[in-house]
């Protein structure tokens, strides 16, 4: 185990009836970095994400988090270790208020909440913390608004606040900028930069200017395999990467 690696995948493979969505991917995410996973459509980025968080089971391969083998753990248990993911489509609880959304995550501190006989008043103990998190992402004035009534950019911000409520050591962000207006992109970029201060982030992102400005390391996937890895300058000059993105015959 090399030093400073927090999440590692070895020969990660997912086969769907003869089709290899992800094939022999080796990935090492170093502690404290923002690591981006990029690649053309259908390269297997999201599959990779689902494998790492066990929303899909790998056909073969091994995943280690902080040196522990997590390959056979359940998604919920992986989240409990501090490895928390987001989703491509905004993942909020639509008919709960912004405050309640964040509180659902804070409530995890109680352990399991099977106490159906107790009033939810006990949850108001988390209200101040939830408000602080909402303020952190600029949603203070929306705490009583149902998540479904928030704009797209604000939903993503709420999602980040909810994720941060778990205070995870590592975040996996699946296309945090997808479908966002330009001013939102800048706001969320700054937010990601800020929260990365004492965390590790692995993100799938299509917006290359965001990737260029945020990431320390970039892994390029194409057809389920790792094509190249390195910082933006290295990766963007790689012939194979240019070919995969633009197609052959453009040079």
Partner 1 sequence: MTATTEATGGPVVAQQTAGGMPAHHIAIFAGLLVLLIAAPFFFYPIFIMKILCFALFACAFNLLLGYGGLLSFGHAAYFGMASYVCAHAAKVWGLTPELAIICGTLVAGVLGFLIGSLAIRRQGIYFAMITLAFAQMVYFFSLQAEFTGGEDGIQAVPRGHLFGLIDLRSQESLYFLVLAIAFAGILLIYRIIHSPFGQVLKAIRENEPRAISLGYRVNRYKLAVFVLSATLAGLAGATKAIVFQLASLTDVYWTMSGEVVLMTLLGGMGTVFGPIVGAAVIVTMQNYLATFGAWVTIIQGLIFVVSVMLFREGIVGVISKWTRKPL
Tell me which residues touch partner 1 (CB under 8 A).
53, 55, 74-77, 79-80, 84-87, 91-97, 99-100, 103-105, 107-108, 110, 112-124, 127, 143-144, 146, 148, 162, 166
User: Closest CB to partner 1 among 82 and 230?
Assistant: 82
User: Closest CB to partner 1 among 17 and 121?
Assistant: 121
CA proximity to 203, closest of 177, 230, 222: 177
CB 53 within 8 A of CB 75: yes
Centroid of chain to Cα 116:
32
CA–CA distance, 190 with 195 (Å, rounded to integer): 9
Residue showing tokens 């952190």: 136
Shortest distance (Å) from residue 153 CB to partner 1: 18
Strand-pair category, 200-204 with 170-174:
parallel
Q: Which long-range contacts (CB under 8 A, 24 or more apart) does 176-179 make?
A: 176/86, 176/203, 176/205, 177/205, 177/206, 177/207, 177/210, 178/88, 178/206, 179/152
User: Closest CB to partner 1 among 133 and 226?
Assistant: 133
User: Closest CB to partner 1 among 37 and 78?
Assistant: 78
* HSE-CB of 126 using CA atoms within 13 angstroms: 22
Shortest distance (Å) from residue 127 CB to partner 1: 7
User: Closest CB to partner 1 among 154 and 222?
Assistant: 154
Shortest distance (Å) from residue 76 CB to partner 1: 5
């Amino acid at each position: 185990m090399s030093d400073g690696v927090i999440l590692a995948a070895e020969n990660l493979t997912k086969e769907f009836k003869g089709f290899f969505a992800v094939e022999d991917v080796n990935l090492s995410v170093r502690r404290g970095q923002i690591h981006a996973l990029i690649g053309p459509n259908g390269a297997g980025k999201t599959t990779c994400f689902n494998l790492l968080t066990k929303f899909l089971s790998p056909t073969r391969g091994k995943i280690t988090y902080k040196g522990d083998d997590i390959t056979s753990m359940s998604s919920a248990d992986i989240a409990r270790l501090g490895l928390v993911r987001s989703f491509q489509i905004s993942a909020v609880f639509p008919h709960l208020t912004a405050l309640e959304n964040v509180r659902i995550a804070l409530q995890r501190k109680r352990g399991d909440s099977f106490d159906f006989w107790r009033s939810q008043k006990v949850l108001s103990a988390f209200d101040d913390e939830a408000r602080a998190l909402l303020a952190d992402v600029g949603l203070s004035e929306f705490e009583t608004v149902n998540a479904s009534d928030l704009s797209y950019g604000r939903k993503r911000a709420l999602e980040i606040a909810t994720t941060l409520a778990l205070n995870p050591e590592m975040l996996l962000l699946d296309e945090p900028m997808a479908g966002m207006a330009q001013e939102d992109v800048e706001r969320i970029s700054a937010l990601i930069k800020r929260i990365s201060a004492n965390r590790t982030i692995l993100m799938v992102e299509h917006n290359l200017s965001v990737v260029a400005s945020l990431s320390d390391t970039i892994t390029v996937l194409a057809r389920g395999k790792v094509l190249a890895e390195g910082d933006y300058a290295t990766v963007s000059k790689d012939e194979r990467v240019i070919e995969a993105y633009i197609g052959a015959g453009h040079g």
